[in-house]
Structure 1
Amino acid sequence: MDLEEEERALGRWPRRLLYIPTLKSYPCEEGHCYNGFKEPQYDAITYTWGRFRLQESDQSNVVAAPIEITGTKSPWSIPRIDPKHFTASEFVRAIRTPTESHEGTGDSRSVDFIWLDVACIDQRAAEPRSAAEIGRQALIFHGARRVYVWLARFPTVHLEKMLTTIERGADYEKSESVEQHAVTKQYASELLSDPWFSSLWTLQETFLRPGAFLLSKDAKLISHSGETRVARYELTERRPTCYTFAFMNLIFSRWAQHCERNASGHHWTACQEMLNLIEERGLRRLMTGTELGMYEAALRRQTLYPEDRVYGIQQIFGFRLGKSSVSAQPGVNFTLEDLEDELGEALMVSKPVLSQLHVFKEPIPESRRWRFHTCSRVATNVSLRIVDPRDYGSYRRSRCSFWVDHGPSGSKPVLFSGMTIGFMRLLDGWKEMAEGLYPPFQAGSLLESWFPIRRRREMFICLDETEEALEAPATVHPLHGEMAGEWLSARHPSDDIRVLLLGLWGPSISMGLEEPLPIENGTFGLILRSCSAGTWARMGICQWDTANPQWTPVDFPIEHRNFLDGTSSDWVEQQGVFGYMG
């Protein structure tokens, strides 16, 4: 049976599961049976161990966890781990967690199966099924009843003390002294120093299952009191009363907001240190819950092999790339650049809007600006408007297409097709029309109290840091906003700067207010500069609001509506090359 047939038969089920009572790994057999159990419930553990794997000649007295691989003529060996990270007995204790009844998790029933990478994926190199299973992580983690985050460095009492102290520190109803703030920062630094927070693979796993429960070194869940404002805001009676990764990240989100508001006076140093710590671990991007934010966060995580920078996050996007694809040729090796190009192409083709919503913070060659790079950053203002459709009922509707020409020439040009408009015409039109998009707030309304002075919203413009853009005067930096747009227009008064309509975002969210907040519906554009006939170079991104029936006045001119959503005669259909692959 080839891999494609095998995976059709597997469906959503893992190739293997570990039977906890005997610590035996069983393959999936006909009817999705494991050791005679048909379609059993299973849990999963996210933990880190690759950096701590012992070589054959290291610490010969250290033994591996007593896991047996069944159903194969050539079982692989379970890795031995440096006991400074965790011992075999501690590992086994964590593995047995699902067999115990846990109150406060929302489901106290025990299960006898667990998905564990070292027991369920062949650890030997060049095994096609191992690579294929890596490409099925989303199915596996979504299929697990419950997922645990094993923080193998912290005993229960100490982990509980750290978490509760950090949670209390994020409580807006209380103000901390300088000494208390320092203690909280010390605990946060210690908690985030656990290797789990710097692993790339764990980033993907927690994106797939943010509700994973935190587990201490001695395999205990950590309960919280629910007494802080953070807990009261987030938790209900039906929610778990044990710490989850999502709740912990919410606490750090509140901390980030607190630090940004209070980064002055005697708290300045501590606030900056806390913000830097949260940023270094990529938690700010995890808070957004967006795929592109995860890609950026991945750049701050550690991997054992360079290629894992793609393999370790591909399932966030739902992709199976390189050797993890069922159609991959056995024995073919993929470099990190190969995989980054493949990821860039897959993202560009399947998610054209999302693929371009970033900016380069360092100059990138014109021919390579078509995809995300290590110097790319998700633009803050744009990212606030890219919410996860699963959570907010929003959508991103593409109005363009990208593709790579894999023709016989071998040059692999990257092409775009869609509606474009002159950049200066768009900016001038926005300034003229934007004032009428929003009605005045009703006298005495909540929104009037929030925004007592109503101003025209600026078009959001964020330029890439190209060699040209870096020549801009200091008044234009940072390279965003209408001032940057006016500077760019002045440098290119002709029509060689155009905007490709990427797509629209909507609908708006009322958020339970008497009037909808006028910040949701918008249009995204890609700023392109003409290099030669039919060839363009990316310069940055922009975003502007469009007419919304929930708040735009009924007398707002139809021609203005059409202009802002890309359907007026000012927009023309265009196709061109804006880079090359490889």
Structure 2
Amino acid sequence: MDYPFVHGRLPYGWLDVPVYWPQRLIHIPSMTSISRDDGNIYKYKDIMAKEPEYGTLSYTWGRWRVKDKPDAPPVLPIKNTPWQIPAVEEAHFTTENFQKVIQNIHKSGVDWVWIDVGCIDQRRGSTQAAVEIGRQASIFKQAKSTFVWLSRLDCIQLAQAIDDILDYGGQLYDHIDIGIEGVDFDNVMDKLQTVSEYLFSDPWFSSLWTLQEIVLRNDAIVLSTEGESVPWKVARQDQRTYMTMLINHCQNVYTSLEKAIEKTKTVYSEQYPEKTMNAIQRVKQLILQVGFYYLFSTNPNVQFGTARYRTTKRAEDRIYGIMQIYNLCVGRSARPEENPSMEELVIEFAAAINYNSAILGQFFVHVSRPKRGYTWRITEESTVPNSLIMYRDPNDMATINVDLDENCIAAGKCCQLPMLLSAAKEAGDIAPSHAVDGWGLKFEILLDNHINDAASFNAANQQHFMERRNSGTEIDLKDVLVLWLGNVQAEFSYRSNTYFRRNVGLLLSVQNHNTGEGVLHYERLGIAVWTTGEKSTPFEVPIRSIPWEWYDQLVLK
């Protein structure tokens, strides 16, 4: 197969992150930025090290950069950079505290550190900067340790916030999950809302760059304004707070809150006061917005959907600041001599994801109506339902490629949607123990949000139809094509000592059915998922009996 080329040059991205040593590292004892040579040796005067162990720092500062002011605050005293170290508003953080952070990294046993202001060329239009940004995944992944600096939260208050999250989160679990009586639930929710709003107020939680960095290294150590590590009380002993611990705890809180809401939906259940319900929704919202509920998901589309809550200084950083979660390098980071527009960058990024995996490229649901002609393209206005959060061991059976004219062409096995619906219904009748809501195969239709839910999916009635929202246009099920994208690893089967597979089908509707055009164009409606296991299992027979037909020129719009 020929590689698709971006503007006729480089293939779209890569799946495995190559090992790149940083172009520069800071030698902490001398506060010197030192470039590496071709042998990965960092040498400056009497300092020399080959491939040294180093740490990385995740923090945010770009929104508070001070430019061309005579009374600008002092800058971090890093020597030997060809560029001027940028000054930052002291209301965000002081140079004194920045130095304390670096010294505390040094105290942890690290002599070398990668910090962007001293290791990435800060001069406008630098090609070195574009290349280094494209290598951040490698830089963070091979670091000995990573630190997160919450520059607006002082050590005492941050430590208290961690204690409160542990305490009140534990009380929430005891009351909701275990059913312990005597817990003042209203007070617990009030305290959780207060501490969550305080903790997540730090600008680190609103930066898109830091979202990418914490996905790459969720084992980062948390540092306060003063650069101090924050204690986490475990088994009567204090230890340093790692982001992994905080993320895991936030996930537990979110899960308990979902259970609390479910308990209010029964007829005889206790209803919470309005203030408490508002607190539940607010804490859930905060956890979702910072990306902590699904951060351990193996589907990176989860984080891309979260990116809409994060801030970047430049529009194009909405791609550059998230691309390495996908192990991709696109745009100027791949081709420093070029500077694609935002629209070109978005298309290239989405095309790269689909090229590497048609499953991953479509493993999401549109939240709002996508741009006409680009329904195949993921955007920040997307979400990932629970059934799609795990993306492991993909087996792609279809391809989706974008050519130089930006035509998106798919190829693979297809069937009409009524065939798949009938097979799913039959599988449910054969093996009711495997059925979910009357369907076998754990069959599920996930429509994009601008398409109305169709009651026909629950009845498998081929005469029913779907409607596009806000248009009233009917879509006959017989005109909906299912492109079998492939499958990913699902839950484990102890009976067969192997994993089930979750299959993915892309739902496509003909756009120009009666226009007389020679090539049919298809619009994405959503996806279908169903689970399969052993081939000998009776409930798989209906799926295997579908006469899947190969299509090699599906033009997606």
Q: Are positions 1:50 and 2:62 aligned together?
A: yes
8 Å contact kept, 1:521–1:545: yes
Q: Which residue of 1 aligns with 2:388?
A: 383
8 Å contact kept, 2:432–2:438: no
Please give the alpha-carbon distance, in whole angstroms, between the structure 1 residues aligned to 2:364 and 2:240.
36
Q: Report matched runs for 1:249-288 at 5 Å.
A: 249-263=247-261, 264=264, 265-266=272-273, 267-288=276-297
Structure 1: 4+ residue segments shifted above 4 A:
437-441, 453-458, 479-487, 489-494, 514-520
Please give the alpha-carbon distance, in whole angstroms, between the structure 2 residues aligned to 1:557 and 1:165.
50
Q: Which residue of 1 aligns with 2:169?
A: 170
8 Å contact kept, 2:219–2:244: yes
Please give the alpha-carbon distance, in whole angstroms, between the structure 1 residues aligned to 2:487 and 2:211.
29
Query: Cα distance, 1:518 vs. partner?
Result: 11
Counterpart secondary structure, 1:184: helix
- TM-score if structure 1 supplies the norm length? 0.80
Q: Which residue of 2 aligns with 1:430?
A: 424
CA pair 557-483 structure 1, distance change in 2 beyond 3 A: closer
Match of 2:448 among 454, 464, 469: 464
Matched AA of 2:56? A
8 Å contact kept, 1:26–1:34: yes
Match of 1:344 among 327, 344, 350: 350
Counterpart secondary structure, 2:395: strand
Q: Which residue of 1 aligns with 2:84?
A: 77
How far does the alpha carbon of each residue in 1:500-540 deviate from its partner, in whole angstroms, 9 at most, with x for none?
A: 00111225425xxx768999522100001122343211111
Match of 2:538 among 556, 568, 577: 556
Match of 1:541 among 498, 502, 527: 527
Match of 1:248 among 228, 246, 250: 246
Query: Cα distance, 1:421 vs. partner?
Result: 0.4
CA pair 372-507 structure 1, distance change in 2 beyond 3 A: closer
Q: Which residue of 2 aligns with 1:91?
A: 98
Counterpart secondary structure, 1:144: coil
Which deviates more from structure 2 when the two are superposed, residues 171-180 or residues 83-92? 171-180
Query: Cα distance, 1:487 vs. partner?
Result: 4.3
8 Å contact kept, 1:423–1:489: no
CA pair 313-555 structure 1, distance change in 2 beyond 3 A: closer
CA pair 484-209 structure 1, distance change in 2 beyond 3 A: farther
How far does the alpha carbon of each residue in 1:64-87 deviate from its partner, in whole angstroms, 9 at most, with x for none?
A: 1111125xxxx1011111111110
Query: Cα distance, 1:434 vs. partner?
Result: 3.1
Please give the alpha-carbon distance, in whole angstroms, between the structure 2 residues aligned to 1:555 and 1:206.
42
Q: Are positions 1:192 and 2:169 aligned together?
A: no
8 Å contact kept, 2:431–2:539: no
Q: Which residue of 2 aligns with 1:204?
A: 212
CA pair 250-201 structure 1, distance change in 2 beyond 3 A: same
How far does the alpha carbon of each residue in 1:78-132 deviate from its partner, in whole angstroms, 9 at most, with x for none?
A: 111111111001001101222214xxxxxxxx02100000000000111111100
CA pair 91-516 structure 1, distance change in 2 beyond 3 A: farther
Counterpart secondary structure, 2:380: coil
Please give the alpha-carbon distance, in whole angstroms, between the structure 1 residues aligned to 2:40 and 2:88.
32
Gaps of at least 5 residues in structure 2 are: 1-9, 11-17, 176-182, 265-271, 468-473, 513-518
Query: Cα distance, 1:340 vs. partner?
Result: 0.8
Match of 1:353 among 345, 348, 359: 359
Q: Percent identity?
A: 27
How far does the alpha carbon of each residue in 1:134-177 deviate from its partner, in whole angstroms, 9 at most, with x for none?
A: 00001100110000000011121211110111122222236444
Query: Cα distance, 1:220 vs. partner?
Result: 1.4
Matched AA of 2:245? F
Q: Which residue of 1 aligns with 2:552?
A: 575
Counterpart secondary structure, 2:85: coil
Number of aligned residues: 505
Q: Are positions 1:119 and 2:118 aligned together?
A: yes
Q: Which residue of 2 aligns with 1:234?
A: none
Q: Which residue of 1 aligns with 2:492?
A: 509
Please give the alpha-carbon distance, in whole angstroms, between the structure 1 residues aligned to 2:461 and 2:184.
41
Please give the alpha-carbon distance, in whole angstroms, between the structure 2 residues aligned to 1:290 and 1:558.
26
How far does the alpha carbon of each residue in 1:257-304 deviate from its partner, in whole angstroms, 9 at most, with x for none?
A: 111111341332221111122122233342424211111111110000
Q: Which residue of 2 aligns with 1:21?
A: 29
- TM-score if structure 2 supplies the norm length? 0.84
Please give the alpha-carbon distance, in whole angstroms, between the structure 2 residues aligned to 1:157 and 1:480.
55
Which deviates more from structure 2 when the two are superposed, residues 203-212 or residues 535-544? 535-544
Match of 2:327 among 310, 315, 318: 318
CA pair 200-555 structure 1, distance change in 2 beyond 3 A: closer
Matched AA of 2:387? V
Please give the alpha-carbon distance, in whole angstroms, between the structure 1 residues aligned to 2:151 and 2:214.
16
Counterpart secondary structure, 2:486: strand
Q: Are positions 1:362 and 2:339 aligned together?
A: no
RMSD of aligned Cα (Å): 3.0
8 Å contact kept, 2:75–2:87: yes
How far does the alpha carbon of each residue in 1:243-269 deviate from its partner, in whole angstroms, 9 at most, with x for none?
A: 111111111111111111113413322
Q: Are positions 1:488 and 2:470 aligned together?
A: no
CA pair 315-493 structure 1, distance change in 2 beyond 3 A: closer
CA pair 14-426 structure 1, distance change in 2 beyond 3 A: same
Gaps of at least 5 residues in structure 1 are: 5-9, 102-109, 232-239, 390-394, 442-450
8 Å contact kept, 1:440–1:454: no
Please give the alpha-carbon distance, in whole angstroms, between the structure 2 residues aligned to 1:492 and 1:483.
15
Query: Cα distance, 1:480 vs. partner?
Result: 8.2
Counterpart secondary structure, 2:227: coil
Match of 1:530 among 506, 510, 522: 510
Please give the alpha-carbon distance, in whole angstroms, between the structure 2 residues aligned to 1:137 and 1:482.
50
Please give the alpha-carbon distance, in whole angstroms, between the structure 2 residues aligned to 1:80 and 1:429.
64
Matched AA of 1:421? C
Structure with more of its chain in strand, by fraction: 2
Q: Which residue of 1 aligns with 2:178?
A: none
Please give the alpha-carbon distance, in whole angstroms, between the structure 2 residues aligned to 1:57 and 1:251.
43
Q: Which residue of 1 aligns with 2:308?
A: 299
